């Protein structure tokens, strides 16, 4: 969990890797985890990979601890692969003075941009085909969804899921723009009268 403090971070790492750790003994936990990773590396020649989503939420102390734990022999032996996934705030945080040592060790950075309308359309088409009904949504509805997804796959799938739910409740054989307007239309609220 990215919001974890150092003690919670060690408890969670111990749980993930099957090592009993006591937060009061950071050195012992640090040593036990590294020994577990070394044993794993020696036995199968594959490094464990830790994926942290929403990494921009992590405290600098925990990020620094990760940097120290992930390698041995003065950084010549990587013990753990770490993937930090986050928004633009993560890049800003890694430029901070206290995290420059971690930022300088990141080998590969992949920055994603907003998805294009074509990418969203292709993705939606793939989802419909894999679900077994490529014609569930009309081409017009697919275009409308892509236009209103703001380049974000999550928004696209959330809107599509809402439409699918509404269509299932109404037992519709195909979803179209009319349904989109009914589900996502802003209700006309009366304008409040001003007091005189």
Q: How many CA atoms lie within 13 A of 2 on its CB side?
A: 13
pLDDT, residue 42, reads 85
**pTM > 0.95:** no
What is the number of domains present in the chain?
2
69 pLDDT exceeds 80?
yes
Same domain, 94 and 147: no
In this structure, how many other beta carbons lie within 10 angstroms of the beta carbon of residue 113?
Answer: 6
Tell me the CA end-to-end span of the chain in Å, nearest whole number.
54
Cα–Cα distance for residue pair 23/18, rounded to 1 Å: 15
pLDDT, residue 139, reads 97
Query: Which residue do the tokens 């890694």 mark?
Result: 94
pLDDT, residue 27, reads 82
Same domain, 96 and 17: yes
| Contact of 177 with 140, CB cutoff 8 Å | yes
The more confident residue out of 187 and 58 is 58
**193 lies in a domain?**
no
Domain of residue 164, residue span: 117-184
φ, ψ of residue 170 to 5 degrees: the values are: -95, 0
In order of 12, 21, 31, 33, 69, the CA distances from 1 in angstroms are 8, 17, 21, 18, 17
Final residue of a domain: which of 103, 132, 155? 103
Mean pLDDT within 89-97 = 91
Final residue of a domain: which of 103, 136, 162? 103
In order of 79, 121, 174, the CA distances from 140 in angstroms are 51, 11, 12
Same domain, 14 and 90: yes
pLDDT, residue 187, reads 67
């Amino acid at each position: 969990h990215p919001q974890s403090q150092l003690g919670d971070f060690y408890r969670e790492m111990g749980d993930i890797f099957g090592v009993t750790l006591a937060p009061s003994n950071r050195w012992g936990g640090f040593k036990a985890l590294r020994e577990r990773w070394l044993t794993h590396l020696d036995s199968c020649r594959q490094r464990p990979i830790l994926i942290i989503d929403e990494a921009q939420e992590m405290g600098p102390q925990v990020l620094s601890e990760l940097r120290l734990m992930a390698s041995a022999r003065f950084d010549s032996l990587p013990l753990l692969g770490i993937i930090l996934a986050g928004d633009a705030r993560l890049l800003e945080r890694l430029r901070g003075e206290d995290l420059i040592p971690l930022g300088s060790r990141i080998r590969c950075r992949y920055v994603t941009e907003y998805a294009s309308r074509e990418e969203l359309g292709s993705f939606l088409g793939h989802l419909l085909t894999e679900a077994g009904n490529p014609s569930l949504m009309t081409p017009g509805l697919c275009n409308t969804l892509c236009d209103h997804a703001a380049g974000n796959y999550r928004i696209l799938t959330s809107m599509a899921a809402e439409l699918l739910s509404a269509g299932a409740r109404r037992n519709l054989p195909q979803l179209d723009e009319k349904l989109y307007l009914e589900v996502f239309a802003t209700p006309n609220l009366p304008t409040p009268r001003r007091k005189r």
